[in-house]
């Protein structure tokens, strides 16, 4: 137990993949989209359909840049798409 505790403190002090700041960009031809921007647009689209922010449990995202679309499914119930 003590070893696990000291390992956990060391990871917290030095960082880890889970806590590292991430910047993910999808590039296709002449377009660049940050994943944070894509997720914000999906959130806005779902909320505009009357979904409550507290109801988000799972979001599946499918990026299809060749179609210039991002498809999503929220909680296996609501699906839709936004422009890439």
pTM: 0.74
CA dihedral 27, 59, 82, 44 (to 10 degrees): -120
Question: What phi and psi, each to the nearest 5 degrees, are found at residue 79?
Answer: -130, 160
- What is the model's pLDDT at position 56? 92
Q: How far apart are CA 17 and CA 57, in angstroms?
A: 22
Percent of the chain with pLDDT over 90: 62
Query: Which residues face 81 on adjacent strands?
Result: 71
Mean pLDDT for 64-78 is 94
- What is the model's pLDDT at position 20? 81
């Amino acid at each position: 137990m003590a070893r696990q505790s000291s390992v956990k403190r060391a990871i917290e002090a030095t960082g880890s993949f889970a806590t590292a700041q991430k910047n993910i960009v999808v590039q296709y031809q002449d377009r660049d989209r940050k994943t944070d921007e894509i997720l914000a647009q999906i959130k806005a689209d779902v909320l505009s359909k009357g979904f409550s922010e507290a109801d988000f449990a799972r979001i599946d995202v499918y990026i299809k840049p060749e179609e210039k679309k991002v498809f999503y499914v929220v909680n296996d119930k609501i699906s839709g798409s936004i422009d890439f």
